């Protein structure tokens, strides 16, 4: 499993000089929230602050900062006799010619290895958001790199979990769709070959008892059951519905399958109507009647993400109420 933290470490280690471009403040309607950031090197970027022209301007300004810093380093080395005159002149010429773009005309302030852009998102830059964004650009040193990695580790540790039981065609498609979202995806299977070809950022678990994974899962997780065996589906869903702390419980299948499960769940699995009411089946809704795996996965991923956001919002509101009462 290749985590997003590992990808960040790889970028920091492999791109040479890097600038951090961060949304420092916002007013009105803006593409991204305060704290959103991206990393910019001379030839690559990682992440996004959104906004089309806003982002292009910020990238240009970041690369100007990188080139300017390179020129300063070469001048200092030349004065110390560390580099030859020819090398210094070539580097200075490159540094004096920053990438073309709007950023050169934008106001900036700060000194040394940082700059700030204050950008109105209006017709001046070909946008109509109407808000305003302040962007802070800093060169990444060792200390800042450690801060970024620590923050990424904390964020990754707190991502909501999505458990996919089954690695068939829909399971594969849903894993690929969910891997693009800010969630920790775990695919659980009883068949080893069904776990082949999963995205690098997806965790896989091979087990003869998938229901045991349900009991160990963290609170607030989403569960999607789509195995190759209906009896196994029923067993896993029943185990999930006994938990009262889930954000989403979905089972692939038809309305007939759902009715069959309900009859078994209430009569044989000692389930209740209230528990059954939490089951989403079929998954992905019925707005589009298309049974192709990738289409089902797209709608299901949106449905799951909506449920996770709603659950997090409700949990945060409840915690705030408790805090207010205790205070």
Compute the residue count for the chain.
327
Q: Can you read off the two tokens belonging to residue 92?
A: 């200075």
State residue 323's pLDDT score. Answer: 62
Which of the residue ranges 22-31, 97-106, 194-203, 256-265 would you say has the lowest mean pLDDT? 97-106
Cα(11)–Cα(16) distance, rounded to whole angstroms? Answer: 9
What's the burial of 322, exposed, middle or buried (CB within 10 Å: 0-12/13-18/19+)?
exposed
Sheet holding 37-40, edge to edge: 45-47, 37-40, 19-27, 132-139, 114-120, 108-109
Sheet holding 203-206, edge to edge: 203-206, 184-189, 161-165, 222-225, 248-251, 279-280
Question: In this structure, what DSSP letter does residue 120 have?
Answer: E
Model pTM above 0.85: no
Which of the residue ranges 4-18, 105-119, 216-230 would you say has the lowest mean pLDDT? 105-119
Cα(327)–Cα(25) distance, rounded to whole angstroms? Answer: 30
State residue 18's pLDDT score. Answer: 96
State residue 107's pLDDT score. Answer: 35
Residue of higher predicted confidence among 83 and 272: 272
Give me Rg for the CA atoms of the chain: 26
Helix (H, G, I), strand (E, B) or coil at 162: strand
CB atoms within 10 A of CB 188: 27
CA angle 114, 77, 97 (to 5 degrees): 55
Q: Can you read off the two tokens belonging to residue 111?
A: 């000194």
What confidence category does residue 126 fall into, taking pLDDT thresholds of 50, 70 and 90? confident
Q: Which residues contact 215 (CB under 8 A, 6 or more apart)?
A: 239
CB 236 within 8 Å of CB 210 = yes
State residue 73's pLDDT score. Answer: 67
97 has a pLDDT exceeding 70: no
Which of the residue ranges 70-84, 116-130, 210-224, 242-256 would you say has the lowest mean pLDDT? 70-84
State residue 113's pLDDT score. Answer: 73
Element holding 66 (H helix, E strand): helix 53-79
State residue 82's pLDDT score. Answer: 55
State residue 266's pLDDT score. Answer: 97
State residue 114's pLDDT score. Answer: 85
Element holding 69 (H helix, E strand): helix 53-79
State residue 121's pLDDT score. Answer: 84
Interval 84-92 mean pLDDT: 45
151 has a pLDDT exceeding 60: yes
Which of the residue ranges 89-103, 165-179, 188-202, 257-271 would you say has the lowest mean pLDDT? 89-103
User: What are the chain's domains?
Assistant: 15-156 (no CATH), 159-315 (3.40.50.720)
Question: In this structure, what DSSP letter does residue 197 have?
Answer: T
Interval 92-117 mean pLDDT: 46
Cα(327)–Cα(324) distance, rounded to whole angstroms? Answer: 5
pLDDT (tens digit per residue) in 276-310 = 999 999 999 888 889 999 999 999 999 999 999 99
pLDDT (tens digit per residue) in 191-231 = 999 999 999 999 999 999 999 999 999 999 999 999 999 99
Beta-sheet strands, E only, within 75-229? 108-109, 114-120, 132-139, 161-165, 184-189, 203-206, 222-225
3-state helix, strand, coil in the chain (%, to 5): 50, 20, 35
């Amino acid at each position: 499993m290749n985590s997003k933290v590992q990808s960040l470490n790889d970028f920091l280690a492999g791109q040479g000089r890097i600038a951090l471009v961060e949304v420092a403040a916002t007013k009105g309607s803006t593409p991204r929230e305060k704290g959103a950031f991206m990393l910019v090197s001379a030839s690559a970027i990682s992440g996004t602050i959104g906004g089309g022209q806003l982002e292009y301007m910020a990238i240009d300004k970041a690369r100007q900062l990188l080139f300017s810093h390179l020129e300063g380093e070469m001048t200092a080395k030349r004065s110390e006799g560390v580099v030859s005159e020819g090398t210094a002149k070539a580097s200075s010429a490159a540094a004096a010619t920053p990438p073309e773009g709007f950023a050169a005309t934008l106001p900036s302030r700060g000194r040394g290895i940082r700059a700030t852009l204050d950008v109105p998102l209006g017709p001046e830059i070909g946008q109509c958001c109407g808000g305003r964004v302040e962007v802070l650009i800093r060169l990444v040193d060792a200390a800042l790199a450690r801060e970024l990695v620590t923050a990424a580790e904390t964020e990754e540790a707190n991502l909501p979990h999505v458990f996919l039981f089954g690695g068939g065609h829909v399971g594969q498609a849903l894993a690929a769709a969910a891997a693009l979202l800010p969630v920790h995806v775990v695919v659980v299977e009883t068949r080893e070959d069904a776990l082949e070809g999963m995205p690098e950022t997806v965790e896989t678990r091979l087990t003869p008892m998938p229901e045991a994974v349900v009991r160990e899962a963290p609170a607030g997780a989403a569960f999607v059951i789509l195995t190759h065996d209906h009896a196994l589906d029923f067993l896993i869903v029943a185990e999930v519905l006994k938990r009262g702390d889930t954000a989403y419980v979905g089972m692939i299948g038809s309305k007939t399958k759902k009715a069959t499960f309900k009859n078994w769940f209430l009569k044989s699995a000692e389930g209740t109507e209230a528990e059954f009411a939490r089951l989403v089946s079929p998954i992905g809704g019925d707005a589009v009647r298309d049974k192709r795996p990738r289409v089902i996965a797209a709608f299901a991923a949106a449905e799951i993400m909506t449920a996770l956001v709603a659950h997090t919002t409700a949990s945060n509101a409840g915690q705030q109420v408790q805090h207010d009462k205790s205070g």
